[in-house]
Amino acid sequence: MERHYAFFQNRDCEFFPCHKGVAEEDFNCLFCYCPLYALGEGCGGAFRYTPKGVKNCEGCAFPHRKENYDAVLARFPELAALAAKREKDHA
Protein backbone atom coordinates (compact mmCIF):
# COMPACT_ATOMS: atom_id res chain seq x y z
CA MET A 1 0.00 0.00 0.00
CA GLU A 2 1.39 3.42 -0.98
CA ARG A 3 0.08 5.50 1.98
CA HIS A 4 0.47 8.86 0.22
CA TYR A 5 -1.40 10.48 3.14
CA ALA A 6 1.57 9.73 5.41
CA PHE A 7 4.05 11.92 3.54
CA PHE A 8 4.04 15.53 2.36
CA GLN A 9 6.85 17.76 1.22
CA ASN A 10 6.95 21.50 0.63
CA ARG A 11 10.20 22.18 -1.18
CA ASP A 12 9.03 25.75 -1.83
CA CYS A 13 9.13 26.51 1.91
CA GLU A 14 11.85 29.02 2.67
CA PHE A 15 12.99 26.82 5.57
CA PHE A 16 13.11 23.49 3.70
CA PRO A 17 14.61 21.37 5.08
CA CYS A 18 14.22 22.91 8.51
CA HIS A 19 16.15 20.20 10.38
CA LYS A 20 19.46 18.52 9.59
CA GLY A 21 19.97 14.77 9.57
CA VAL A 22 17.20 13.69 7.17
CA ALA A 23 17.81 13.12 3.47
CA GLU A 24 15.87 15.71 1.45
CA GLU A 25 13.95 13.05 -0.48
CA ASP A 26 12.75 11.54 2.82
CA PHE A 27 12.05 14.81 4.65
CA ASN A 28 8.40 14.80 5.73
CA CYS A 29 6.78 18.22 6.20
CA LEU A 30 3.45 16.72 7.30
CA PHE A 31 4.16 17.47 10.96
CA CYS A 32 5.67 20.90 10.32
CA TYR A 33 4.55 21.92 13.79
CA CYS A 34 5.26 18.85 15.86
CA PRO A 35 2.15 17.54 17.61
CA LEU A 36 4.39 15.98 20.26
CA TYR A 37 5.65 19.40 21.42
CA ALA A 38 2.74 19.62 23.87
CA LEU A 39 4.03 16.53 25.68
CA GLY A 40 6.92 18.59 27.04
CA GLU A 41 9.80 16.50 28.32
CA GLY A 42 7.82 13.35 27.51
CA CYS A 43 7.84 13.93 23.75
CA GLY A 44 10.81 11.61 23.24
CA GLY A 45 12.60 13.97 20.87
CA ALA A 46 16.04 15.53 20.92
CA PHE A 47 15.15 18.94 22.32
CA ARG A 48 16.73 21.37 24.75
CA TYR A 49 15.45 24.28 26.78
CA THR A 50 16.77 27.76 26.09
CA PRO A 51 18.08 29.88 28.97
CA LYS A 52 14.63 31.52 29.04
CA GLY A 53 12.95 28.12 29.51
CA VAL A 54 11.54 27.77 25.99
CA LYS A 55 11.56 24.29 24.47
CA ASN A 56 13.81 24.33 21.40
CA CYS A 57 13.36 21.43 18.97
CA GLU A 58 15.92 22.62 16.44
CA GLY A 59 18.02 19.48 16.94
CA CYS A 60 15.09 17.08 16.59
CA ALA A 61 14.10 15.58 13.25
CA PHE A 62 11.92 12.76 14.62
CA PRO A 63 8.56 13.90 13.17
CA HIS A 64 10.24 14.75 9.86
CA ARG A 65 11.55 11.27 9.18
CA LYS A 66 9.32 9.57 6.63
CA GLU A 67 9.37 6.29 8.58
CA ASN A 68 8.16 7.89 11.85
CA TYR A 69 4.60 8.74 10.73
CA ASP A 70 3.07 5.78 12.62
CA ALA A 71 5.15 6.47 15.72
CA VAL A 72 3.87 10.06 15.86
CA LEU A 73 0.25 8.93 15.41
CA ALA A 74 0.69 6.30 18.12
CA ARG A 75 1.24 9.14 20.62
CA PHE A 76 -2.12 10.84 19.86
CA PRO A 77 -3.93 9.12 22.78
CA GLU A 78 -1.45 10.84 25.11
CA LEU A 79 -2.23 14.18 23.48
CA ALA A 80 -5.97 13.55 23.81
CA ALA A 81 -5.54 12.70 27.49
CA LEU A 82 -3.50 15.86 28.01
CA ALA A 83 -6.19 17.95 26.33
CA ALA A 84 -8.94 16.30 28.40
CA LYS A 85 -6.99 16.96 31.60
CA ARG A 86 -6.50 20.60 30.69
CA GLU A 87 -10.20 20.99 29.93
CA LYS A 88 -11.09 19.38 33.26
CA ASP A 89 -8.62 21.60 35.13
CA HIS A 90 -10.08 24.73 33.54
CA ALA A 91 -13.76 23.83 33.95
pLDDT above 90 covers a percentage of the chain that reads: 86
Listed in sequence order, the residues at least 6 apart from 23 whose beta carbon sits closer than 8 Å to its beta carbon are none
Give me the pLDDT at residue 5, please: 93
- 24-63 pLDDT tens trace: 999 999 999 999 999 999 999 999 999 999 999 999 999 9
Give me the pLDDT at residue 39, please: 94
Judged against a pLDDT cut of 80, whether residue 83 lies above it is answered with yes
Compute the distance between CA of residue 39 and CA of residue 42 in angstroms, rounded to an integer: 5
Give me the pLDDT at residue 29, please: 96
Rounded to the nearest 10°, the torsion over CA 32, 35, 41, 46 is -30
pLDDT above 70 covers a percentage of the chain that reads: 100
